[in-house]
């Protein structure tokens, strides 16, 4: 059972990285080259690592005022036509360098709104990907798609299932009509319920829903009603995100009146109440805002120690090379991270010139790899065995991380960790604040301005 210690949450719930990568994207730079990318891809071929594919579809028909994603809001579908054509070309360009025997164990379409695309475009995108990469056809792999409930009907859900998708993620955010109106995302509970029914009817094996706390007009009571309604639908996974109001960085958020936002104390009460409701309903805290039913594969992987974390969040396939397609998409290939051009225009120009659309990235050194291993293990398994880490990297982990481990005394005293110089284990409260513990081992934190990150809670 999670200990929802609000005093500790206040003390340690400051800004911090989400650690979908280590080093984080703030350490990316423009000195990386296409040769770095192709070298890393070839090393994956030689190691015969499996693959994870990410497709970024940046388009949305409607703007959500809370959104901080890289997206293009337009009703002009011809822009998607041009984007789609170039996306197919990027797939071909990268597939030429990939061993065709490497299986694609995971594929995810994100955005934006992937279901902005037409049925024909989605079909062509899957078929083209299947011609270029070794997609699995027996439903063993995890192929997921983000769905805006306002953009699908029963037939589209059936089409996506027929194309091989077996997992879906729905952006619910909140079910209160007043909150939905305030953030310009009106989707009644009945709409969400219908989409759930179609997904169940067509045999999707897992449904994830996103909730956000801290939106305008939200309160502890109103969010509890949303959670109560969502629990009736019983999604396998629920993500509970903190809304970060940063209108200076994201202009669309200026549409939200700050007078309508809940206070910091109210947000903390909302998070605790929602978390306790999920806890009581049988959901397990996987880590960092993510909850899952015990029967879900993420929960099972955490229990067996095989859970991983990458740019797609928690995953079963940490040993897979992640190849990103589309504007701003990130690839993670062994010791290399590479991000595509964030500007759609520049990305398209590179594709037209038959050039790799690489904008920036990072080549990890040995220290980065060791710390990535420790941080990822901590956030996924919730404990670290220092002897195991020492053996894996041929180091004396107690000496290597001596300065960091000396800081554990304070965290032990505050009840976040248990530590005996052999193992470091997060307590029930520490699981909520895992990012704060991970930051101790982040060698870049002292040079990083915290305002670049959202609050931990």
Model confidence over 164-203: pLDDT tens digits? 999 999 999 999 999 999 999 999 999 999 999 999 999 9
Is pLDDT above 70 for 270?
Answer: yes
138-173: b (≥16 Cβ within 10 Å) or e: eeebbbbbbbbbeebeeebbebbbebbbbbbbbbbb
* Out of 160-169, 241-250, 352-361, least confident range: 241-250
Dihedral sign from CA coordinates of 227, 229, 234, 237: negative
For the segment 9-20, the average pLDDT, to the nearest whole number, is 81
CA pair distance 271, 257, nearest whole angstrom:
21
For position 319, what pLDDT does the model report? 86
Report in angstroms the alpha-carbon separations of 244 from 66, 256, 262, 287. Answer: 8, 12, 12, 19
CA pair distance 181, 256, nearest whole angstrom:
11
For position 220, what pLDDT does the model report? 95
Angle at 117 between CA 164 and CA 128, to 5 degrees: 50
CB 377 within 8 A of CB 384: yes
CA pair distance 354, 184, nearest whole angstrom:
39
For the segment 230-252, the average pLDDT, to the nearest whole number, is 91
For the segment 147-161, the average pLDDT, to the nearest whole number, is 96
Full set of structural domains in the chain with CATH: 1-23+366-457 (1.10.10.920), 25-322 (3.80.30.20)
To the nearest whole percent, how much of the chain has pLDDT over 70?
Answer: 97
* Out of 81-95, 171-185, 239-253, 382-396, least confident range: 239-253
Q: Which residues pair with 213 in a beta bridge?
A: 242
Q: How far is CA 133 from the centre of its chain?
A: 23
Q: What is the mean pLDDT of the chain?
A: 93
To the nearest whole percent, how much of the chain has pLDDT over 90?
Answer: 77
CB 207 within 8 A of CB 199: yes
Determine whether 402 is exposed, middle or buried from the number of CB atoms within 10 Å of its CB (0-12, 13-18, 19+): exposed
For position 451, what pLDDT does the model report? 54
For the segment 104-123, the average pLDDT, to the nearest whole number, is 95
Model confidence over 434-451: pLDDT tens digits? 889 999 999 998 765 555
For position 287, what pLDDT does the model report? 82
For the segment 26-33, the average pLDDT, to the nearest whole number, is 95
At residue 347 the predicted structure's pLDDT band, cuts being 50, 70 and 90, is: very high
CA pair distance 390, 388, nearest whole angstrom:
5
For position 400, what pLDDT does the model report? 97
Model confidence over 33-88: pLDDT tens digits? 999 999 999 999 999 999 999 999 999 988 898 888 778 888 888 889 999 999 99
Model confidence over 283-326: pLDDT tens digits? 999 987 899 999 999 999 998 989 998 888 888 888 899 999 99
Which two structure tokens, joined as six digits, stand for 51?
């693959």
For position 448, what pLDDT does the model report? 57
For position 376, what pLDDT does the model report? 93
CB 95 within 8 A of CB 135: no
Model confidence over 363-384: pLDDT tens digits? 999 999 999 999 999 999 999 9
For position 237, what pLDDT does the model report? 96
* Out of 15-24, 232-241, 266-275, 391-400, least confident range: 15-24
Angle at 211 between CA 209 and CA 213, to 5 degrees: 170
For position 381, what pLDDT does the model report? 92
At residue 1 the predicted structure's pLDDT band, cuts being 50, 70 and 90, is: low
For position 51, what pLDDT does the model report? 97
For position 452, what pLDDT does the model report? 60
For position 310, what pLDDT does the model report? 84
């Amino acid at each position: 059972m999670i200990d929802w210690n609000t005093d500790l949450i206040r003390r340690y719930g400051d800004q911090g990285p989400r650690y979908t990568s280590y080093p984080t994207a703030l350490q990316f730079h423009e000195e990386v080259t296409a040769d770095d990318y192709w070298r890393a891809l070839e090393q994956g071929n030689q190691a015969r690592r499996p693959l994870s594919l990410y497709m970024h579809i940046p388009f949305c028909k409607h703007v959500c005022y809370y959104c901080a994603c890289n997206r293009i809001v337009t009703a002009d579908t011809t822009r998607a036509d041009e984007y789609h054509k170039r996306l197919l070309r990027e797939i071909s360009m990268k597939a030429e360098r990939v061993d065709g025997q490497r299986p694609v164990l995971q594929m995810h379409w994100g955005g934006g709104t992937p279901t902005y695309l037409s049925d024909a475009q989605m079909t062509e995108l899957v078929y083209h990907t299947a011609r270029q990469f070794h997609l699995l056809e027996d439903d063993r792999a995890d192929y997921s798609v983000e769905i805006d409930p306002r953009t699908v009907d029963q037939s589209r859900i059936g089409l996506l299932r027929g194309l091989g998708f077996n997992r879906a993620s729905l952006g619910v955010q909140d079910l209160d009509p007043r909150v939905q109106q305030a953030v310009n995302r009106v989707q009644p509970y009945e709409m969400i319920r219908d989409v759930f029914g179609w997904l169940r009817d067509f045999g999707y094996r897992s449904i994830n829903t996103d909730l956000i706390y801290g939106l305008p007009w939200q309160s502890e009571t109103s969010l509890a009603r949303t959670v109560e309604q969502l629990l009736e639908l019983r999604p396998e996974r629920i993500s509970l995100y903190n809304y970060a109001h940063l209108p200076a960085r994201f202009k669309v958020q200026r549409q939200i009146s700050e007078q309508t936002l809940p206070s910091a104390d109210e947000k903390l009460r909302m998070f605790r109440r929602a978390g306790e409701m999920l806890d009581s309903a049988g959901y397990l805290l996987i880590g960092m805002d993510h909850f899952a039913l015990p029967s879900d594969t993420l929960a099972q992987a955490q229990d067996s120690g095989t859970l991983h974390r990458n740019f797609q969040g928690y995953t079963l396939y940490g040993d897979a090379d992640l190849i990103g397609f589309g504007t701003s998409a990130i690839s993670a290939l062994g010791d290399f991270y590479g991000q595509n051009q964030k500007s759609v225009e520049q990305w398209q120009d590179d594709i037209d010139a038959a050039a790799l659309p690489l904008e920036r990235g990072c080549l990890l050194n040995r220290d980065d790899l060791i710390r990535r291993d420790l941080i990822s293990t901590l956030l996924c398994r919730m404990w670290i065995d220092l002897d195991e880490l020492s053996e894996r990297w041929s180091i004396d982990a107690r000496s290597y991380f001596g300065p960091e481990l000396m800081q554990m005394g304070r965290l032990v005293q505050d009840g976040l960790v248990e530590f005996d110089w052999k193992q470091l284990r997060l307590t029930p409260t520490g699981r909520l604040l895992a990012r704060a513990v991970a930051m101790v081992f982040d060698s870049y934190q002292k040079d990083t301005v915290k305002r670049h990150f959202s609050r931990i809670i």
